[in-house]
Amino acid sequence: MERLELEAKPKFLIDERGKRKGVLISAKDFQRLEELIEDLEDTIDLLNAEREALSFIPYEKFRKNWLSK
């Protein structure tokens, strides 16, 4: 699996007191960030499924049962 690297160069929006109030990033960096979040969500789902599984069925057995329906 390809590792997503973020090389974002954010631009900060500041208020009249100099406090950061927002961030601007490029559309490309935003898309990469979305992909990274989706990958992390998938990883969490997989880890939760493995932890909660009571048993596993070998793929060939599952496939045979599935195709016979």
The pLDDT, as a whole number, for residue 18 is: 96
Residue 47, in any domain of the structure: yes
Residue 21, in any domain of the structure: yes
What single string gives the DSSP state of each residue in 2-53?
PPP------EEEE-TTS-EEEEE--HHHHHHHHHHHHHHHHHHHHHHHHHH-
Q: What's the number of domains the chain is made of?
A: 1
Residue 19, in any domain of the structure: yes
Residues 11-63 have pLDDT tens digits of: 999 999 999 999 999 999 999 999 999 999 999 999 999 888 888 888 999 99
The pLDDT, as a whole number, for residue 5 is: 65
Residue 17, in any domain of the structure: yes
Q: Which domain holds residue 57?
A: 11-67
